[in-house]
Chains A and B, each alone.
Chain A
């Protein structure tokens, strides 16, 4: 067992973990944060995407011990005080989901994209979402939602 200490959605956690524990399983099974989905289990589909120190990563391809000392954000950490994050609002308004399985990963990857590029083009969003698969093939509305969230976040930033 290896002792780890990490912040998840602003809450500090300490835990003893088996080194082979993958971050996705630690989040789901130890912390009960089942919003992080496990889809392909082979680093392809992106359903397990979380933010690690602010950057999008596939949590099925990171060991929990590698997140020692890190700041993790999962989909449960997006809303603040009951108010949806702009990306959640935009996915809701633009119907950026059908079955919803890929949605947590899509949301987290999109937050990652917008933190690096606040004003992406349609093509830039498609390229940056390469690591996230939607098997309902709802990509068009997902891209529309990310464009809308980007605009919303830019105007909020300008107003503040």
Chain B
């Protein structure tokens, strides 16, 4: 299947890309790694009139840290994140999540910025970034702004990113907490039926801080706030399981051909228990 025809421009800088996007109007789309957009174009579910290729902007491909926070360029690939020693030390939740996306070929092409901007509720990285309280840096013709992950995702494939704006980097606070991402799918390389990102701080064997992100449990990545509150102070497996069961507090998740709403809640509870258990053992 071949995409419908489109115009193609190669951006030479972020400013040039913004200019091209403004000229292209509302049916212009940015192309980074293309691993969300091209499959949709091939199915003709997306028919942009102009593709602005930012894949050659090497200055959007970096990882830089200052001790308190790490900034990741939007064009950094999943493979580069999974393979980054610096990120593995500072944000283990991010590296372990990136390593579980798709397959090696997908990770070589897919980018963190593309994954966030696409805002697919079944994607893995947005959930991890929500659990880490990441911020997204967005450039527009008039200047730049920063949006917290909690405010960014608005619905399935909908985000705070406006027409003509470019997500250029992701800032992640360095917390010192341990991170685990667990997802359930029936076949290798499938999207997560449910995914759980756990960022857990411990003090003397007990949980001192907990952030739990959920993948594919709603129209956006979600935080399991009731679970987070119940986990603090907990150290035993039974108490972790009881806290994990509080995931039902988010309401009913969607049901589809992969899993009913009830089964999703069950999976989320089990995955939370296992993810937190990984940290405590």
Question: Could you list which residues of chain A lie within 8 angstroms of chain B, going by C-beta atoms?
Answer: 2, 18-22, 25, 41-44, 46, 49, 52, 55-58, 61-63, 65-66, 68-69, 109, 112-113, 116, 128, 130-132
**Complex contacts, B2 vs chain A, CB 8 Å:** 20-22, 25
- Chain B residues with CB below 8 A from A61, complex form: 34-35, 38-39, 109
In the complex, are the beta carbons of B104 and A62 less than 8 A apart?
no
Interface contact B105-A63, CB-CB below 8 Å: no
Contact between A56 and B108 (Cβ–Cβ < 8 Å)?
yes
Contacts of B1 in A (CB 8 A): 41
A19 and B104 contact, CB distance less than 8 A: no
- Out of B56, B102, B105, name the residue touching A109 (CB < 8 Å): B105
Question: Judging by beta carbons under 8 Å apart, are B105 and A131 in contact?
Answer: yes
Minimal beta-carbon separation of A24 from chain B (angstroms)? 11
**Which of B6, B105, B108 neighbours the largest number of chain A CB atoms within 10 Å of its CB?**
B105
B55 adjacent to A58 (CB under 8 Å): no
Check B143 for interface membership: any CB of A closer than 8 A.
Answer: no
Residues of A within 8 A of B229 (CB): none
Interface secondary structure of A, over-half rule: mixed
A62 and B108: CB pair below 8 A? no
Pairwise interchain contact B8-A131, C-beta atoms closer than 8 A? no
* Residues of A contacting B53 in the complex (Cβ-Cβ under 8 angstroms): 65-66
CA distance A64 to B34 in the complex (A): 12
Q: Which of B3, B7, B38, B51 has the largest number of chain A CB atoms within 10 A?
A: B38
Residues on A with C-beta less than 8 A from B4 are: 20
When distances are taken between beta carbons in the complex, the residues of chain B under 8 Å from A19 are 5-8, 51
How far apart sit A22 and B39, CA to CA, in the bound complex (Å)? 11
> Do A49 and B105 touch across chains, with their CB atoms under 8 A apart?
yes
Q: Are A130 and B188 in contact (CB under 8 A)?
A: yes
List, in ascending order, chain A residues with CB within 8 A of B6's CB: 19-20
For A51, the closest partner residue in chain B by CB is B108
Alpha-carbon separation in the docked complex, A44 to B35 (Å): 11
Bound-state CA distance A112–B55 (Å) is: 21
A62 to B51, CA, bound (A): 13
B8 touches A62 (CB 8 A): no
Contacts of B38 in A (CB 8 A): 43, 61-63
Alpha-carbon gap, A52 to B108, bound state (A): 9
**Is residue B42 within 8 Å, beta carbon to beta carbon, of the partner chain?**
yes
Please tell me if B103 contacts chain A, counting CB pairs below 8 Å: yes
